[in-house]
């Protein structure tokens, strides 16, 4: 953290306007495609997270660490499909596995051997979680995990971290992305629907607590217990990945583990973003705290939609005995399982994690040097393949500090600046970069150079 210089707000606005105009100019075919798309796709996209004003950037292809948009702009990919493509695009090992599987048939809704191999490998990586099931996305994983936790405890209330995203089903679309003045007081954070269409009864059943504050979590659990609505589970990311990156403070995860165990509450680490991206065994391995369940998706399938849930034998008993009906036509789909098998056994090897850690250290250090050189208010932070520059004069530890301090205008300017200089970054102030095994020193240095160029223009 530096003693930062105030950034001139009018300079941010001026550069943002200039960069916006430049991006519109270089993405005209995307603009034309949007005109066509919005006639048939709501907002011109298949998912609201892909929407953007004045138009989304439509991509045509990707290879390794590089992607191209429909205007032919070549960009180094730090977005990587919201953190899914840690393998790099069109990875040959995964391509081979998919092609071989295609010849033999891609879908039976019957189990195949690859599904067993994948579960064996996941059980090996997530020590202490020996039982697995499949889904097709992160949302399905968290939805089923919560149902299993509810069945296993016989309770309804779900506890989550305020500001965390766990997918798009009703129970977890709560207390995310709300305005600062709507958060509520720390010991009694508000349950607020994220978007319309979520029943109030469901909203009321999900209770949010602040990240990095185990005593606040325990106080809320005690109050809920007194009210006769003790939580079935705590669902959380061990490191928050949607406020940039927010790492757990020393002792926090251990305290959460101890509190949930003592109160008989199922602890779910949602590893949809962290799993396979920050270590072979995800956050569970990286931070050395084992939950009762984990949820995976994103980087699991190497670009083929695949999700998984891992749990202890005790928790999974309700699936084994049939009381929870955990199902899905495409669960364990042969194509997804073949891609996942190749991904786990051939691509995301121990060497891959060594490479990702080294590259991330390099990009984080490079960004931190730029911050210090220009006296910018901010810091770089990351773990495994993931990281970001957080534009804030103070360290972000939870949603409240994020909302109060993070500079959204700077995040927007940085995104535009990157896009105009061959760096494809995840849009939005909440997001972080994800590196792939195909990134190298030159790719991360390019990122740092563009950041340096922006800081130069901004700070003069
Ligand atoms: C932590 C976390 N959990 C769950 C999800 C939902 O995953 P999906 O978009 O595959 O449904 C996401 C997606 O960003 C996520 O970041």
- Please give the distance, rounded to the nearest whole angstrom, from the Cα atom of residue 296 to the centre of ligand 1: 9
Choose the residue to mutate in 298, 309, 427, 430 for probing ligand 1, maximizing ligand atoms within 8 Å of C-beta: 298
Q: Which element (helix H / strand E) includes 129? A: none
Output the DSSP codes for 228-270: T---SEEEE-SSB-SSS-BPPPTTHHHHHHHHHHHTT-EEEEE
Output the DSSP codes for 281-319: THHHHHHT---SEEEE-GGGGTTS--EEEEE-HHHHHHH
Q: CA-CA distance, 364 to 288, in Å (whole number)?
A: 23
Q: CA-CA distance, 439 to 64, in Å (whole number)?
A: 8
430 close to ligand 1 (CB < 6 Angstrom): no
Q: What is the pLDDT of residue 3?
A: 52
Size of the chain, expressed as the number of residues it contains: 460
Pick from 254, 282, 271: which is nearest to 307 by CA? 271
- Please give the distance, rounded to the nearest whole angstrom, from the Cα atom of residue 82 to the centre of ligand 1: 9
27 close to ligand 1 (CB < 6 Angstrom): no
Q: Which residues of the chain have pLDDT under 50?
A: 1-2
Nearest CA to ligand 1 atom 7: 138
Q: What is the pLDDT of residue 1?
A: 43
Q: What is the pLDDT of residue 431?
A: 83
Express as a percent the part of the chain with pLDDT over 70: 99
> Which atom belonging to ligand 1 lies closest to the Cα atom of 242?
16
Question: Are the C-beta atoms of 427 and 412 separated by less than 8 Å?
Answer: no
pTM over the 0.85 mark: yes
Q: What is the pLDDT of residue 263?
A: 98
> 189 Cβ partners below 8 Å, 6+ apart?
162, 175, 183, 207, 208, 209, 210
Q: CA-CA distance, 66 to 186, in Å (whole number)?
A: 43
Question: Are the C-beta atoms of 233 and 270 separated by less than 8 Å?
Answer: no
> 412 Cβ partners below 8 Å, 6+ apart?
16, 429
Q: β-pairing, 233-236 with 206-209?
A: unpaired
Q: 3-state DSSP call for residue 171?
A: helix
The encoded tokens of residue 186 equal 């720390």
Report DSSP state, residue 384.
Answer: T
Query: Could you tell me the CA-to-CA distances from 122 to 118, 131, 283, 296, 377 in Å, in that order?
Result: 6, 9, 13, 10, 40
Choose the residue to mutate in 47, 81, 86, 139 for probing ligand 1, maximizing ligand atoms within 8 Å of C-beta: 139
Q: Which element (helix H / strand E) includes 204? A: helix 200-205
CA angle 18, 22, 28 (to 5 degrees): 145
Burial of 3 (0-12, 13-18, 19+ CB in 10 A): exposed
């Amino acid at each position: 953290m530096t003693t930062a210089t105030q950034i001139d707000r009018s300079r941010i606005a001026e550069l943002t306007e200039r960069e916006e105009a430049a991006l519109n100019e270089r993405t005209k075919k995307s603009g034309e495609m949007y005109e066509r798309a919005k006639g048939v796709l709501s907002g011109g996209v298949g998912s609201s997270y892909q929407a953007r004003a004045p138009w989304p950037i439509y991509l045509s292809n990707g290879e390794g660490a590089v992607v191209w948009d429909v205007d032919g702009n070549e960009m180094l990919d730090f977005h990587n499909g919201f953190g899914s493509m840690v393998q790099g695009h069109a990875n040959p090992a995964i391509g081979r596995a998919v092609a071989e599987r295609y010849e033999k048939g891609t879908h039976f809704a019957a189990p195949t051997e690859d599904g067993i191999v994948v579960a064996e490998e996941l059980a090996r990586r997530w020590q202490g979680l020996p039982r697995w099931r499949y889904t097709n996305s992160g949302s399905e994983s968290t939805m089923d995990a919560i149902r299993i936790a509810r069945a296993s405890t016989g309770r309804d209330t779900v506890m989550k971290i305020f500001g965390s995203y766990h997918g798009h089903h009703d129970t977890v679309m709560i207390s995310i992305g709300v305005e600062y003045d709507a958060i509520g007081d720390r010991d009694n954070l508000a349950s607020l629907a994220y978007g319309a269409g979520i029943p109030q009864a469901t909203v009321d059943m999900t209770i949010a607590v602040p990240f990095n504050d185990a005593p606040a979590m325990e106080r809320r659990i005690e109050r809920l217990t007194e009210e006769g609505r003790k939580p079935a589970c705590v669902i959380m990311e061990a490191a928050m990945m949607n406020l940039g990156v927010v790492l757990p403070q020393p002792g926090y995860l251990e305290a959460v583990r101890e509190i949930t165990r003592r109160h008989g509450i199922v602890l779910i680490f949602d590893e949809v973003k962290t799993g396979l991206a920050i270590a072979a065994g995800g956050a569970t391995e990286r931070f050395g705290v084992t939950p009762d369940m984990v949820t995976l998706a994103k980087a699991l399938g190497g670009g083929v939609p695949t999700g998984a849930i891992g749990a202890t034998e005790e928790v999974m008993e309700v699936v084994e005995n049939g009381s929870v009906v955990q199902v899905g036509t495409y669960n364990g789909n042969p194509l997804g399982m073949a891609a996942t098998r190749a991904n786990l056994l051939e691509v995301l090897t121990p060497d891959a994690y060594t490479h990702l850690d080294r590259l991330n250290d390099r990009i984080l250090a490079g960004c931190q040097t730029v911050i210090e050189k220009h006296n910018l208010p901010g810091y770089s932070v990351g773990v495994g393949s993931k990281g970001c520059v957080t534009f804030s004069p103070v360290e972000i530890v939870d949603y409240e500090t994020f909302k109060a301090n993070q500079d959204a205008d700077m995040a927007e300017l940085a995104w535009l600046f990157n896009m105009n200089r061959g760096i494809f970054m995840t849009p939005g102030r909440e997001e972080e970069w994800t590196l792939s095994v195909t990134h190298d020193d030159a790719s991360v240095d390019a990122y740092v150079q563009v950041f340096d160029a922006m800081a130069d223009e901004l700070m003069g």
